């Protein structure tokens, strides 16, 4: 399982709007990428700090996200809500975590 992680620093007064853009992105990704399995967003409303985690079956799709118009449109909409540029990282979910998530029926 591939993991795409976004470190986002929203302007606190624009957090609600930024979070809405995040969820719009995840809904669009589901319709464009069959290997996209879902996403989670952890937030701190007071500071505006967020960590978004997207789960993918395909490394090719995960890597291709930044070249896709869906992601570029998201950045265009969400950037005014951000206090600094979004940082994106690609990670691999450990096999143990993957098995635990399957047991919990999260996936």
The terminus-to-terminus CA distance of the chain in angstroms comes to 11
pLDDT 10s digits, 14-30: 999 999 999 999 999 88
**Cα(19)–Cα(53) distance, integer angstroms:** 13
Which carries the bigger pLDDT value, residue 50 or residue 1?
A: 50
**Cα(10)–Cα(86) distance, integer angstroms:** 9
Q: How confident is the model at residue 5, as a pLDDT?
A: 93
Q: CATH topology for 2-103?
A: Alpha-Beta Plaits (3.30.70)
What residue ranges do the domains of the chain occupy?
2-103
pLDDT 10s digits, 30-86: 888 889 999 999 999 999 999 999 999 988 888 888 888 888 999 999 999 999 999
* pLDDT reading at 107 higher than 60: no
Neighbours of 80 (CB within 10 A): 11
pTM: 0.83
Local structure of residue 86 (DSSP, 8 states): -
């Amino acid at each position: 399982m591939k993991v795409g992680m976004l470190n986002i620093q929203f302007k606190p007064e624009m957090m609600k709007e930024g979070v809405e853009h995040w969820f719009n992105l995840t809904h669009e990704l589901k319709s464009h990428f069959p290997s996209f399995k879902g996403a989670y967003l952890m937030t701190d409303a007071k500071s505006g700090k967020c960590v978004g985690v997207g789960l993918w079956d395909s490394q090719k799709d995960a890597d291709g996200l930044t070249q896709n118009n869906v992601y570029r449109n998201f950045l265009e909409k969400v950037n005014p809500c951000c206090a600094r540029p979004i940082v994106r990282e690609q990670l691999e979910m450990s096999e143990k975590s993957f098995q635990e998530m399957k047991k919990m029926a999260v996936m």
